[in-house]
Amino acid sequence: MQITTWFIAKEDEAEAIASIVTTEEHAPEEWTFIEFPLIEMELMALSAALRGTESVSGQSTMEEPLVFDEEGLIVARVVDSFIRALAQITTESEPALADAWAEKMDRDHQEPEQLREYLSQLAGFARQAIERRSPVLSLVTF
């Protein structure tokens, strides 16, 4: 299972975040972070659900990598518009949005109830990033 980790961090901290995996020089707890078992295509499906579009492949949730290690690691900034859209999710809108998200996903292993939990956590994290006026960096290993 692939784990994605988001950090409230500045772009100049990308190398330090990568070192969590590569050299263990830093630890995730040095930043505010959230981990979840979703891959980029699942996040793109969420982005499409947020935008109300049919196409899942139209827009990545990550910018160009700040760190790319061919051994299986990427650190990239999460697209600001995606973070802003997540931050605007309300408790009332979560069930319908989770259902729309589930419909857009290729895999059947994510139940809408589990997606609602992820959605709530991601929305809260996005609100923290906006309050701190900080970008969100994504650490993905593959």
Domain count, the chain: 1
Q: Please give the mean pLDDT across all residues of the chain.
A: 92
> Residue 27 sits in which domain range?
4-141
**What is the pLDDT at residue 19?**
96
Mean pLDDT throughout 111-135? Answer: 94
110 has a pLDDT exceeding 80: no
- Three-point CA angle 97, 98, 101, nearest 5°: 85
Distance in angstroms (rounded) separating the CA atoms of residues 82 and 135: 11
Contact 116, 95 (CB under 8 A): yes
Binned at pLDDT 50, 70 and 90, residue 55 comes out as confident
What's the pLDDT at 112? 78
Percent of the chain at pLDDT exceeding 70: 96
Residue 17 has pLDDT above 90, yes or no: yes
What local confidence, expressed as pLDDT, does residue 111 receive? 77
Q: Where are the alpha helices (DSSP H) in 1-142?
A: 14-22, 40-51, 80-87, 94-104, 112-131
**Looking at the predicted structure, is the pLDDT value of residue 84 above 90?**
yes
Give the amino acid at 130: I
Predicted model pTM: 0.92
pLDDT at residue 37 above 60? yes
Q: Domain of 69: which CATH number?
A: 3.40.1760
C-alpha distances in angstroms, 76 versus 8, 10, 103?
Answer: 12, 11, 27
Q: pLDDT category, 106, cuts 50, 70, 90?
A: low
For the cut 70, the answer to whether the pLDDT of residue 107 exceeds it is no
Whole-number pLDDT of residue 136:
98
Dihedral-angle region of residue 24 (phi above 0 means left; psi in -120 to 50 means alpha; beta otherwise): left
